[in-house]
Amino acid sequence: MAVQGEETAEKQAAVPGGGTTAAARGHPLLRGWRRERYTHGMHPAQMEALRAMCGALIPSLPADGGHGRGDPPGGKDLERFYRASAADSTIPDEIRTFGLCLSGSARARLHVAGELASEIGKSFHPVAELMVTRCIREAVALAWVVLWVLSTRVGTLLLCGRLCAGGGFPYVRKFADMPPERREAALQRWNRVRWLFPLRIAFAIVKILCHYVFYAMVNENSENPYWKAIGYSVHESREGQAEAAPSPSRPLDVGVVETRLLNDNALLRSLVGRGLTVKPAASDADHHVVQCDAVIVGSGCGGGVAAAMLASAGYKVVVVEKGDYFTAADYSSIEGPSMERLFERGGIFCTSNVTTMIFTGATVGGGSAVNWSASIRTPREVTQEWAREHGLPVFASPGYVQAMDAVCDRLSVTDGCREEGFQNKVVRRGCEALGLCADAVPRNSSEGHFCGSCNFGCPTGDKRGTDTTWLVDAVARGAVILTGCKAEHFVFEKNSSSGRGRGKKCVGLVATCASDGVTKKLRIEARVSIAACGALMTPPLLRSSGLKNRHIGRNLHLHPVSMAWGYFPESRQDPQLAGKCYEGGIITSMHRVTERTIIETPALGPGAFAAMVPWESGRDMKERMHRYSRTAHAFALVRDRGAGFVDGEGRVRFTPSREDVEELRHGLRRALRILVAAGAAEVGTHRSDGQRLRCKGLRDEDLEAFLDEISPTRPSAKRERPSREAAAPSAGKAARRHRRRRRFGTGA
């Protein structure tokens, strides 16, 4: 078909096989990309203050800084790691990772690679860009003001006190001119003093983004010069691994229209070529009008299943998805660009109080494309509660059990695991040592699946999501998937039907394409309209459509999570606990603490790890990162009684209830016991004061005293030192619990 030929030509630079080298890893968009200019708009004085903060968070240190805890020397890689500073990056093309680069004229002026690296390091635009584009506006405004204040001597005196005093005129230094050790001391003060809450928020934002950029960014060869020093490498298929190799085919291409690559004419031809009715342009000057039977917003667990069912019933279905379409062969497993392209807000999605980070999928397949493979059936006690207390008897019926069976069958869910990864082996060993039960976790992959990067899209193609199951069924029956297309609002008309029906009915929606070449919006007219864009994105869509119900966005349950960690040195590695924290199946073992609390293991790339763990000092943080690959994490997940509120796009209010905090505390204590019993050399939490305990020669009374101080939010009544809260997927329905929206706390 002519339309397909046009699209293929446009995709040559964007899809596998379209002109990329064999050595290139995955899709170009998942290796790094470019944008022509920065949009953060920060003043050079603010950028100077931001650079000074980043340099204090990740300072240049003596090369022997990594040997303070008995770790073996790491040669030149470790020396380069300790000498590196966030204020002076050594990656010449770091900006490609996040699509942030200088204009063409500026690049021409800075034609020498070393000069370009120096200029980027001095201004540190990537952190500023992420701050402005990913954080909520109140947090951005707060950080903006703090950076302005720190760019002046008077403001620095106000926020830093005597730390900014100098030995000569003018006697007071602005923040960027303070000695590094004093800047670090100021950050430590902001992080721990309760009454400086605005400064703590600003500190948390910069801490999260600075560390994320530093450890997740890559150069043009998809490499980060510090990964070797921290023992990290990107996923490579294991030799002889018994799982399917990724197919170069794109099974959804027959139904996918990638609007990001098209102009108006090509878009219309694509829609017509896929069997849709497009009204003449004269009928609507502002919109391209498309007609179908059903339009669905979202391609995840809800939207994918709905599309398959409706298409199989003979209806013409259109799925609107703002993300892009990637396959197993496209996934690079590189943290920075994968987070940017596969997750909502590039993975930088915090609650309004900056205490909870939320990871939710934003690609074809939604959360199912980036889930952690856990496919847990709704527990019987939960279905009984829903039926008994909420008047929903269907969940206690045999039909619901049959529905779960059908879902598990379509996703090829398996109950066993041939070989567990390091973190899950730690949890299992700790449970066995304590006489506790560690259950196997069903996964939507084969029993031999040993992939630790499924959270960046499964590069082996072994994991099953809606993008490889129900959506394939849907397009085979004529469904069309519009990618790079964001629904703006539903369209309502007066209901002319007689009887006691509602006054208005939904007749479709209006959507915007990401392509600059598409000048008109899409108006998709349908008999049935379905909002399936998740608990976080559906409420803003409904409000923008003019719906006023006060319950929209309320009763949000996030399954809060609190993290514990244990360090297992490589030098005394137990053969039974071999491996690294990012290797192997992400969740294969689970311990049930109470009816409402479980313990599992997370997937943490180096960027996410650095963003979440507590920062006590620049040296301590580098030591933590040097031990990254052998630091096992376990989290306590609670089925929360409290509820949050979605009050706008990217705006979530959430604070755990007292009951939930107590459940988290109980689960966190149990997780720490498990890590100690498994043989950790040191254990700790993500509380902002860096709460930790050395385990060598540990007495029972010392452990109990440490556990008595454990709290997810408050170490004592005198001073609050919060940990950055966490969250996990909602209880969901049936085996939809694919870990659709994985959320974690940070440790700023």
Q: What is the mean pLDDT of residues 332-348?
A: 92
Assigned token pair, 283: 């009928």
Residue 292 assigned to a binding site: yes
Q: What is the mean pLDDT of residues 564-589?
A: 91
Assigned token pair, 581: 């924290």
Whether residue 635 sits in one domain with residue 540: no
Q: Is the pLDDT of residue 20 over 50?
A: no
> For the chain, what is the mean pLDDT?
84
Assigned token pair, 255: 């139904």
Contacting residues for 189 by C-beta, under 8 A, at least 6 apart: 160, 196
- What is the domain-level CATH number for residue 494? 3.50.50.60
Domain that holds residue 358: 335-376+415-458+555-744
Q: State residue 348's pLDDT score.
A: 84
Whether residue 156 sits in one domain with residue 48: yes
- CA–CA dist 188, 554 (Å, integer): 36
Q: What is the dihedral of CA 214, 220, 222, 225, to 10 degrees?
A: -50
* Helix ranges, 58-195 (H): 75-83, 104-109, 113-123, 125-134, 137-150, 153-160, 180-192
Whether residue 451 sits in one domain with residue 487: no
Q: What is the DSSP code (8-state) at residue 448? A: T
Q: What is the pLDDT of residues 421-441, one digit of tens each?
A: 999 999 999 999 999 999 999
Point out the domain boundary residue: 187, 216, 245: 216
Residue 65 assigned to a binding site: no
Q: What is the mean pLDDT of residues 595-601?
A: 96
Q: What is the dihedral of CA 464, 467, 469, 472, to 10 degrees?
A: -150
Whether residue 493 sits in one domain with residue 478: yes
Per the domain annotation, does 503 fall within a domain?
yes
Residue 153: exposure state from Cβ atoms within 10 A (0-12, 13-18, ≥19): middle
Residue 297 assigned to a binding site: yes
Residue 40 binned pLDDT confidence (cut-offs 50, 70, 90)? confident
Q: Is the pLDDT of residue 496 over 90?
A: no
Q: State residue 16's pLDDT score.
A: 38
Residue 727 binned pLDDT confidence (cut-offs 50, 70, 90)? low
Q: Is the pLDDT of residue 17 over 50?
A: no
Task: Average the pLDDT over each of 669-673, 709-713, 722-726 and give the range with the smallest value.
Answer: 722-726
Percent of the chain with pLDDT over 90: 67
Per the domain annotation, does 690 fall within a domain?
yes
Q: What is the dihedral of CA 177, 607, 672, 680, to 10 degrees?
A: -90
Residue 237 binned pLDDT confidence (cut-offs 50, 70, 90)? low
Whether residue 175 sits in one domain with residue 86: yes
The answer to whether 360 touches 741, Cβ cutoff 8 Å, is yes
Whether residue 641 sits in one domain with residue 612: yes
- CA–CA dist 453, 332 (Å, integer): 9
Q: Is the pLDDT of residue 334 over 50?
A: yes
Whether residue 284 sits in one domain with residue 354: no
Angle at 213 between CA 212 and CA 218, to 5 degrees: 120
The answer to whether 414 touches 445, Cβ cutoff 8 Å, is yes
Q: State residue 74's pLDDT score.
A: 62
Assigned token pair, 51: 């650079």
- CA–CA dist 714, 721 (Å, integer): 6
Please give the single-letter amino acid code of residue 597: T
Per the domain annotation, does 25 fall within a domain?
no
Q: What is the pLDDT of residues 241-285, one digit of tens each?
A: 444 455 567 899 999 999 999 999 999 999 999 999 999 877 778
Residue 300 assigned to a binding site: yes
Q: Name residue, tokens 């006060």.
A: 550
Residue 407 assigned to a binding site: no
Residue 240 assigned to a binding site: no
Residue 82 binned pLDDT confidence (cut-offs 50, 70, 90)? very high
Q: Is the pLDDT of residue 718 over 70?
A: no
Q: State residue 546's pLDDT score.
A: 94
Whether residue 191 sits in one domain with residue 48: yes
| Cβ count within 10 A of residue 535 | 20
As a whole number of Å, the end-to-end CA separation of the chain is 54
Q: Is the pLDDT of residue 349 over 90?
A: no
Q: What is the mean pLDDT of residues 107-113?
A: 36
| Cβ count within 10 A of residue 21 | 5
Q: What is the pLDDT of residues 647-665, one digit of tens each?
A: 999 899 998 999 999 999 9
Per the domain annotation, does 406 fall within a domain?
yes
Residue 6 binned pLDDT confidence (cut-offs 50, 70, 90)? very low
Residue 101 binned pLDDT confidence (cut-offs 50, 70, 90)? very low
Residue 417 assigned to a binding site: no
Contacting residues for 264 by C-beta, under 8 A, at least 6 apart: 288, 517, 518, 519, 520
Residue 591 binned pLDDT confidence (cut-offs 50, 70, 90)? very high
Q: State residue 72's pLDDT score.
A: 45
Per the domain annotation, does 228 fall within a domain?
no
- CA–CA dist 707, 702 (Å, integer): 9
Q: What is the mean pLDDT of residues 517-538?
A: 96
Task: Average the pLDDT over each of 133-137, 373-377, 508-512, 613-617 and give the range with the smallest value.
Answer: 133-137
Phi, then psi, of 665 in degrees rounded to 5: -60, -45
* Helix ranges, 169-288 (H): 180-192, 197-216, 264-273
Between strands 485-494 and 504-513, the pairing is antiparallel
Q: What is the pLDDT of residues 277-319, one digit of tens each?
A: 999 877 778 899 999 999 999 999 999 999 999 999 999 999 9
For every residue of 42-106, DSSP letters joined together read --HHHHHHHHHHHHHHS----GGGGGTTSPPP-HHHHHHHHH-BTTB---TTGGGGGT----HHH
Residue 87 assigned to a binding site: no
Residue 610 assigned to a binding site: no
Q: What is the pLDDT of residues 200-220, one digit of tens each?
A: 889 999 999 999 999 998 887
Residue 680 assigned to a binding site: no
Residue 298 assigned to a binding site: yes
Q: State residue 713's pLDDT score.
A: 58
Q: Is the pLDDT of residue 503 over 90?
A: no
**Containing H/E element for 256?**
strand 256-258
For the chain, what is the domain count?
4
The answer to whether 304 touches 466, Cβ cutoff 8 Å, is yes
Per the domain annotation, does 731 fall within a domain?
yes
Q: Is 34 helix (H, G, I), strand (E, B) or coil?
A: coil
Contacting residues for 241 by C-beta, under 8 A, at least 6 apart: 448, 450, 460
Residue 724 binned pLDDT confidence (cut-offs 50, 70, 90)? low
Q: Name residue, tokens 């930088």.
A: 348
Per the domain annotation, does 576 fall within a domain?
yes
Whether residue 539 sits in one domain with residue 629: no
Residue 299 assigned to a binding site: yes
Whether residue 371 sits in one domain with residue 494: no
Residue 3 assigned to a binding site: no
Q: State residue 626's pLDDT score.
A: 96
Per the domain annotation, does 151 fall within a domain?
yes
Q: What is the mean pLDDT of residues 544-554?
A: 94
* More confident: 136 or 157: 157
Residue 302 assigned to a binding site: yes
Q: State residue 748's pLDDT score.
A: 37
Q: What is the mean pLDDT of residues 695-705?
A: 94
* More confident: 497 or 266: 266
Whether residue 388 sits in one domain with residue 370: no
Enter the pTM of the model: 0.86
Point out the domain boundary residue: 544, 575, 604: 544
* More confident: 651 or 194: 651
Residue 294 assigned to a binding site: yes
- CA–CA dist 255, 257 (Å, integer): 7
Assigned token pair, 364: 């074809």
Residue 110 binned pLDDT confidence (cut-offs 50, 70, 90)? very low
Gyration radius (Cα) of the chain, Å: 26
For every residue of 365-418, DSSP letters joined together read TTHHHHS-SB-PPPPHHHHHHHHHHSS-GGGGSHHHHHHHHHHHHHTT-BS--S
Whether residue 339 sits in one domain with residue 326: no
Residue 118 assigned to a binding site: no
Q: Is 723 helix (H, G, I), strand (E, B) or coil?
A: strand
Between strands 631-638 and 597-600, the pairing is antiparallel
